[in-house]
Amino acid sequence: MAYINLNADNFNAHMKEEGLVILDFWAPWCGPCKMFGPTFEAASEKHADIVFGKINTEDERDLAAHFNIRSIPTLIAIKDGIMVFNQAGAMMAAQFEQLIQGLRELDMDKVRADIASQQE
């Protein structure tokens, strides 16, 4: 699956309770965003089982505010409905592939247990 341009109207429809969603918060005027865009798009073609969403922070200010985006580009990964990665800054293709592999291997039972212990 190629990436999806997400907005307030279609955002919830593309969030998954199970599986991996990677969000790219960007803006048209942002140089690093333009540099990272092709890397994100290539990964979206390569990893068809992952939802890749691009969110234009200029057009979708409410979504950017919801995720507390303070600089762009910012990548957010949500796995099984839980945010597991949030980092500003562009990545090289190899770094992004390493991130995707790490996200695939992430033990969500451990993540949920960690969250539960922090809430006690």
The confidence band for 1, taking pLDDT boundaries of 50, 70 and 90, is low
Based on the residue annotation, tell me whether 30 is a catalytic residue of this protein.
Answer: yes
Q: What is the mean pLDDT of the chain?
A: 94
Give the CA distances from residue 119 to residues 65, 78, 116, in Å, rounded to whole numbers and listed in that order. 24, 19, 5
Say how far apart CA 68 and CA 63 lie, in whole Å: 9
More confident residue, 120 or 56: 56
Q: What is the dihedral of CA 59, 65, 70, 75, to 10 degrees?
A: -80
Q: Look at residue 38 and tell me whether its pLDDT is greater than 90.
A: yes
Query: Of 22, 30, 50, 75, which is the active-site residue?
Result: 30
- Predicted local distance difference test score (pLDDT) of residue 16: 77
Query: Of 4, 33, 50, 51, which is the active-site residue?
Result: 33
Q: In terms of DSSP H, where are the helices of the chain?
A: 11-14, 31-46, 61-66, 93-105, 108-119
- Region for 27 from its dihedrals, namely left if φ exceeds 0, alpha if ψ lies in -120 to 50, beta otherwise: beta
Based on the residue annotation, tell me whether 33 is a catalytic residue of this protein.
Answer: yes
